[in-house]
Amino acid sequence: MRVPPLQHETPSRAISVETIGMTMRFGSFTALNDVSIKIDAGSFHVLLGENGAGKSTLVKCMMGFYRPTSGQMVVEGREVDAPDPRAAHDLGLGMVYQHFTLVPSLTAAENLVISRNDVPTRIRWERERAALAAFMEKMPFAVPLDVPVGRLAAGEKQKLELLKQLYLGRRFLILDEPTSVLTPAEADELLGMVRGLTTSGDLTCLMISHKFREVTAFADEISVLRRGEHVGGGKVTDLSTADMAAMMIGEKELVRPAARLVHNGQPVLTVSGVTASDRSGLKTIAIDELQVKSGEIVGIAGISGNGQMELMEILSGQRPVSEGAIEVCGAPFHATRSQVRALNVRFLPEEPLRNACAAKMSVAENIFFRDFDFAEGKPKFWLDNRRMAALAARLVGEYKVKTASLDTPIAALSGGNVQRAVLAREFNGKVDLLLIANPCFGLDFSAVAEIRARIMAARNAGTAVLLISEDLDEILELSDRILVMSDGGIVYETPAANADIGDIGKHMAGHH
Ligand SMILES: Nc1ncnc2c1ncn2[C@@H]1O[C@H](COP(=O)(O)OP(=O)(O)OP(=O)(O)O)[C@@H](O)[C@H]1O
Ligand SMILES: [Mg+2]
């Protein structure tokens, strides 16, 4: 059977996009101030800037999600108006977000087809399927098309988000930290593909990234935002990483990690023979044995979707355990609020805005969660606003959380600043056991240095740290012992001191 061509073939031509004097105020707070940036047709342009610099705000203005306070968009040399996302789409602009936009209960194929504007009322699936197969054929990576998207791992979902934009024929693509959820190999594949499409003149790309490696390896031009202003930019070939860093943070100095102290720690966390079902309900998570001692960082490496997040849920009491035992300091542990308080256990789950915050409540209230009903070792029965404001003000200062005020809803903070606020709360006070997942996700490079230094300092002070991370560099830098998680179990263990990256990688990929 011959397949008739669809209207939404791969983009035919890259387009140039320009902002002129873009300004965005939220109340009295200026998130963007007079930003003029030109992205040439066919270029792979990166937008750099610290957490809270205004990167997401700028691209949301470009995509019609925000109505800028003032400023103009120019597409292909013509002034245009994109009052809403639909209008931006009609101009050929598309975006892949930090969060996922796919419908979890539908398959990848269904998600792609229904995302089209021209989707017919009666879909001829046979024809669509053949067209999709032909489209996928041209793509450098495959995604399972017939499984509900909710069952896909984060990496697969992100690939699908990008595929969707290409499928819709967008010719100017904004990528907001697209590789955060991918392995280094997947990231290279994805960015290599984008690079290929820009070089051939099919696509213009504006990417937000905190990773210099990605910039130097794939991009041709950068623009830098600092405190809402456009402070510089240029061709990647003319700039060193140090130049870019200096434009981002000015004269500020980087925090250096503390030296690793030698400890002879006692077991704090012990997990034995624990099994539970995974998120899809189809597989079993089985942790035969896992121990973390005081003054030790145990790193769990693994590709996203291999049971790491279920392990975090098991330890934080959010996922029922079928068998086995979890002990903290020798006593059975069920992560109840009183146990967590008595044993000084702290958590930092992934996606903190969803899993560790009340999004609509203020920054101050979110920071106060651990303390609102307890003070100086005694329960409290009323909310002490003064104490809350004082604690929040101190921690916001110490952790440099950028927020318009302490009363701002935490959901209005930039991604990196939500992360900082939650870290501030969880690191405050005495911590004997710290359970963290991807602590530096979405943080700018100076914040990464700062947070890693804090984790190391906690370890040196005797905290037992379980660090689950998809960032292998982070695991290697921080851990005393490294475990690899694959297919719901721990499949490999090595002391970090003489760890073999090749061996770790093989086990991560499931080849033991
Ligand atoms: N809806 C909003 N209401 C109030 N303030 C906001 C809103 N959206 C963004 N801001 C503020 O604007 C500033 C810029 O935020 P933005 O999300 O653009 O930063 P970013 O550069 O994308 O940072 P990150 O790297 O952390 O993602 C932040 O200080 C943020 O708190
Ligand atoms: Mg952002």
* Confidence at residue 161, expressed as pLDDT on a 0 to 100 scale: 87
Q: Which residues of the chain have pLDDT under 50?
A: 1-11
Evaluate whether residue 218 is within a structural domain.
Answer: yes
97 and 196 housed in the same domain: yes
Q: Looking at 195, 219, 249, which one is the last position of a domain?
A: 249
Into how many domains does the chain fold?
Answer: 2
303 and 241 housed in the same domain: no
How far is Cα 425 from Cα 416, in angstroms, rounded to an integer? 15
* Confidence at residue 446, expressed as pLDDT on a 0 to 100 scale: 85
Evaluate whether residue 265 is within a structural domain.
Answer: no
Count of other CB atoms within 10 angstroms of residue 183: 19
Count of other CB atoms within 10 angstroms of residue 338: 8
307 and 189 housed in the same domain: no
224 and 337 housed in the same domain: no
* Confidence at residue 189, expressed as pLDDT on a 0 to 100 scale: 80
* Confidence at residue 207, expressed as pLDDT on a 0 to 100 scale: 97
**Sheet containing 70-75: which strands, arranged edge to edge?**
29-39, 17-26, 70-75, 78-80
Dihedral sign from CA coordinates of 36, 180, 409, 346: negative
| Closest Cα to atom 30 of ligand 1 | 413
238 and 341 housed in the same domain: no
182 and 244 housed in the same domain: yes
112 and 190 housed in the same domain: yes
* Confidence at residue 352, expressed as pLDDT on a 0 to 100 scale: 82
* Confidence at residue 387, expressed as pLDDT on a 0 to 100 scale: 84
Q: Looking at 215, 249, 283, which one is the last position of a domain?
A: 249
What are the helix (H) ranges across 440-493? 445-460, 472-478
* Confidence at residue 169, expressed as pLDDT on a 0 to 100 scale: 81
Evaluate whether residue 200 is within a structural domain.
Answer: yes
Q: Which atom of ligand 1 is nearest to the CA of 54?
A: 18
CATH number where 15 lies: 3.40.50.300
* Confidence at residue 8, expressed as pLDDT on a 0 to 100 scale: 43
Evaluate whether residue 263 is within a structural domain.
Answer: no
Which tokens sit at 268?
A: 């704090």
How far is Cα 25 from Cα 66, in angstroms, rounded to an integer? 10
91 and 202 housed in the same domain: yes
Residue 17: domain span: 7-249
Which tokens sit at 194?
A: 């984008």
Q: Which of 414, 420, 443, 444 to mutate to test the pocket of ligand 1 (most atoms within 8 A of CB)?
A: 414
Evaluate whether residue 255 is within a structural domain.
Answer: no
List CB-based neighbours of ion ligand 2 within 5 Å.
56, 414-415
Which tokens sit at 236?
A: 């990647």
* Confidence at residue 7, expressed as pLDDT on a 0 to 100 scale: 43
How far is Cα 61 from Cα 36, in angstroms, rounded to an integer? 12
| Closest Cα to atom 2 of ligand 1 | 412
Residues having CB closer than 6 A to ligand 1 are: 26, 29, 31, 49, 51-57, 402-404, 412-417, 444
389-417 confidence digits (pLDDT tens): 899 999 999 998 999 899 999 999 988 89
* Confidence at residue 379, expressed as pLDDT on a 0 to 100 scale: 61
* Confidence at residue 17, expressed as pLDDT on a 0 to 100 scale: 97
126 and 203 housed in the same domain: yes
- Beta strands 70-75; 78-80: pairing state: antiparallel
66 and 162 housed in the same domain: yes
Exposed, middle or buried by CB within 10 Å (0-12, 13-18, 19+), for 437? buried
Evaluate whether residue 316 is within a structural domain.
Answer: yes
37 and 149 housed in the same domain: yes
Question: Is there a contact between 486 and 510 (Cβ–Cβ < 8 Å)?
Answer: yes
298 and 399 housed in the same domain: yes
* Confidence at residue 229, expressed as pLDDT on a 0 to 100 scale: 97
